[in-house]
Amino acid sequence: MEQPPRIIDGAFVKAFAVLDSTVTFKNRTYVYFGGKQVGKVPALAICQYVGEAEFLMFYCSENWEVLGISGFETVEAAVNRAEIEYEDVSKKWQHPNVTEKDLLPEDLEPKCSFCDKPYFKLEGLFEGTNAFICYECVRNLH
């Protein structure tokens, strides 16, 4: 399995673990998506949105698509929860050390053409022919 991209679902990756055969799924996951419990996944990623304090543990597919999410105050809390769900995952964590300073302009795209906020900080974004506008700017301009 390949390493994750620097950004998953708009959040930058702080740590990730590929869950191979040396990691045992304990069936203690309380994460649901679409009304179904997220079971064993091939990878976990601890991520953080730019400017946010909370850390998110993404339960990921082989292609690093997000299948479920849980939130934590610290990276350590997320790592501890992962160990409850996956025995021996603590040996698998890798830390790419990506910070906000490492983000490229394209990591923050698309963004509102009026207020310049990136898409992941917005309620929603309308796409036009050559521009984007967020819900907040639509409300303010209306």
Whether residue 80 sits in one domain with residue 27 = yes
**In what helix (H) or strand (E) does residue 68 lie, and over which residues does it extend?**
strand 66-72
For 42, the token pair is: 């091939």
| Predicted local distance difference test score (pLDDT) of residue 140 | 86
**3-class SS at 48?**
strand
Q: Mean pLDDT over residues 54-75, rounded?
A: 96
Q: Can you give the residue range of the structural domain that contains 63?
A: 7-101
More confident residue, 84 or 107: 84
Read off the pLDDT band of 93 (50, 70, 90).
Answer: very high
Please tell me whether the overall predicted TM-score, pTM, comes out greater than 0.85 for this model. no
| Predicted local distance difference test score (pLDDT) of residue 80 | 97
Q: Is residue 43 part of a domain?
A: yes
Whether residue 12 sits in one domain with residue 37 = yes
Whether residue 14 sits in one domain with residue 52 = yes
| Predicted local distance difference test score (pLDDT) of residue 16 | 97
10 Å CB burial of residue 25 (0-12, 13-18, 19+) is middle
Q: Dihedral (C-alpha) 95, 96, 101, 104: value to the nearest 10 degrees?
A: -150
Whether residue 66 sits in one domain with residue 121 = no
Q: Is residue 2 part of a domain?
A: no
Beta bridge partners of 98: none
C-alpha 100/C-alpha 51 separation (Å) is 9
Number of domains in the chain: 2
Q: Mean pLDDT over residues 62-75, rounded?
A: 95
Q: Up-side HSE of residue 82: CA atoms within 13 Å toward CB?
A: 32
Question: Considering the chain, what percentage of its residues have pLDDT values greater than 90?
Answer: 51
Whether residue 24 sits in one domain with residue 88 = yes
DSSP 56: E
State phi, psi for 141 to the nearest 5 degrees.
-85, -15
